[in-house]
Amino acid sequence: MEKFLSVDEAARLLRTTRSYIYKLVCERKLPTYKPTGGRLLFDADELIDFVHKKRKATHDELSNRADSILNRRP
């Protein structure tokens, strides 16, 4: 069964504020559910996936990726 979170719970999970959650919702950057047309709900797994997708690569990872691209043979 999926676990749905309120705005406050989503803010706690992401360690941010309610207002920032609303900003991300308005910009359509966070997936939401509005089953009754009013109250926003968030799927906890989707919020965690959102965080993982925004991961920034380290300098070493970028360097390794660049090396592998430059050393490819056509």
Residue 62 to residue 40: CA distance in whole angstroms: 37
pLDDT of residue 33: 93
> Counting every residue, how long is the chain?
74
pLDDT of residue 18: 96
- Asked whether the beta carbons of 36 and 70 are under 8 A apart, the reply is no
How confident is the prediction along the chain (74 residues), in pLDDT tens digits per residue? 568 999 999 999 999 999 999 999 999 999 999 988 788 999 999 999 998 887 888 999 889 888 888 888 66
pLDDT of residue 74: 66
Domains, in order of start, for the chain:
4-70 (1.10.10)
pLDDT of residue 31: 92
